[in-house]
Amino acid sequence: MSIVRVRFAPSPTGHIHVGNVRTALFNYLFAKNQNGTFILRIEDTDLERSSIENENIIYEDLMWLGLEWDEGPVVGGNYGPYKQTERTLIYKKYLDKLLEEKKAYYCFCSKEELDAQREKNLQEGKNPIYSGKCKNIPLAEARQRIEQGEKAAIRFNVTESEVKVKDILKGEIDFPTNMFGDFIIVRPDGTPVYNFVVVVDDALMKITHVIRGDDHLNNTPKQILIYKALGFELPEFAHIPMILGSDHSKLSKRHGDTSVNQFRQKGYLPEAFFNYLALLGWSHPEEKEILSRQELINAFSLERISKSAAVFDFDKLNWMNGIYIREKNIDELYSVAKGFIKCVELSKYDEQWLKNVVFSVREKISVLSEIDEHIKIFFKQSEPDDESIKLLNLETSSAVLERYAEEIKKFETLTVDDYKAITKIVGDATGAKGKALFMVLRIALTGQRTGPDMDKIATLLSPKTQIERINNVLRFIKK
């Protein structure tokens, strides 16, 4: 029994996309479920788009979600280095081997030439594949030309006509190789391309299962060819379906937030995001939905990953995030929420009071960033809208407000019981009930028709403040 080793191999070209992070998540869950090793590798061979800043962003995003890697940059490991730009010598060794064995060859064709050829093929309805022009240039001659300053790419010499891919999710698939022809494995500037390095790295890092998005399915035959040419043992492949936007096209910016840090900034809880993502394309054997990290790890299996693409459902994510928010106790909630409070300066207020305020609106929000608009009523009375004004103009309204103000005057603070007793008295005295009583009080005290429970508002706001607000409203009504 070989120990499971899987990897997540992002290229540091920007923020991690939800599709990619879900791939990372599945790799992580599989590794942990199997007691295996989860490896992070940075695929930075595209020098133009890769950067150190982006690497750090990747680390941060993964850490936020708790996808800690057992081997990789920062933490190290026995199969490093874990950044491809630091592995060039390794690649060179295998490249030379291929070249010597005529399994690859130098290609001197210019980009313009190839583009033209591709154009022509396409127009003639043929597959845009390489003609094989440089295939027979002897290696010695090619090396000489390069020595003299010529630039050459290296192409893989495809000799088989068909490649079989065995995939855990999709089964056995046959690919005709005339789809791609002799593909490039090294650019003229000497940097090896993805399809080559991924094979060398996965093989050398002893990756047992390659779990990745199914947009890579078409690359797999090329990679298998390289595995074989180099004499490496094949890993198992599992190509997981894509994540789509609401219009069923590949999820992109126009569908809303798509990068991990955007979700983080909006106030999604990592455990909720983790849970939601796990259920996007995978299902629990008992169809449970709210699952902790450990439950997810315990229940995970590649077999239960669905084969079809999934639409990212923001509504369901919101619902789930709301559940996680409501599960937090008052201290936990405050510690995750305080960073999202922008409407006031926290240091000016008593912390326990702030905690109570935040806790009082927890049913109202599905993401933490919504907290501001819900707690602002505790700091400032807002202007009533037309509908509210109608309610304030009810016959009983001013009597309700006057009586309520009168009753709370003698209190330093109100308890829930005080509040209940007082509203009972006010109701009895004025004949107002239901909306005429509670909605009117709510509007007078906050300016709004929705908000936290009335008893929360009444106990959290000092009677002095409440009276001030009521007087403001009373003056407004009498005008």
Partner RNA sequence: GUCCCUAUCGUCUAGCCUGGCCUAGGACACCGGCCUUUCACGCCGGCAACAGGGGUUCAAAUCCCCUUAGGGACGCCA
If you write DSSP's letter for every residue of 76-89 in order, what string do you get?
B-TT---BGGG-HH
| Angstrom distance (rounded) from CA 38 to CA 31 | 6
Q: What pairing do the DSSP bridges indicate for beta strands 236-240 and 209-213? A: parallel
- What whole-number distance in Å separates Cα of residue 256 and Cα of residue 311? 13
Is 253 one of the annotated active-site residues of the chain? Answer: yes
Helices (H), 9-110: 18-33, 52-65, 88-100
Among 92, 102, 151, 253, the active-site one is: 253
Give the rounded distance of the alpha carbon of 124 from its chain centre: 43
Of 346 and 415, the one with the shorter C-beta distance to RNA is: 415
Residue number with CB closer to RNA (351 or 382):
382
Q: How far is the CB of 199 from RNA (least distance, A)?
A: 12
Q: What is the DSSP string of 271-334?
A: HHHHHHHHTSSB--TT---S--HHHHHHH--GGGB-SS-EE--HHHHHHHHHHHHHHS-HHHHH
The interaxial angle of helices 351-360 and 330-337, nearest 10 deg, is: 90
Instruction: Work out how close the CB of 34 gets to RNA at its nearest, in angstroms, rounded to a whole number.
Output: 20
Query: Minimal CA–CA distance to 272: which of 281, 263, 259?
Result: 263
Token pair recorded at residue 94: 């295998």
Put the strands of the sheet holding 236-240 in their side by side order.
37-40, 5-8, 209-213, 236-240, 162-167, 171-176
Answer yes or no: are the C-beta atoms of 470 and 404 closer than 8 Å: yes
How many CB atoms within 10 Å of residue 191?
A: 15
Q: Which H or E run includes 115?
A: helix 111-123
Closest C-alpha among 442, 468, 428, 456 to residue 387 = 442
- For RNA, the closer CB: 351 or 453: 453
Residues in the chain: 479
Minimum gap (Å) between residue 467 Cβ and RNA: 20
Closest approach, Cβ 206 to RNA, in A, equals 19
The full DSSP string for 188-235 is TTSPBPHHHHHHHHHHHTT--EEEEEGGGGGGHHHHHHHHHHHTPPP-
Q: How far is the CB of 295 from RNA (least distance, A)?
A: 16
Closest approach of Cβ 267 to RNA, in Å? 16
Shortest distance (Å) from residue 349 CB to RNA? 23
Catalytic residues: 253
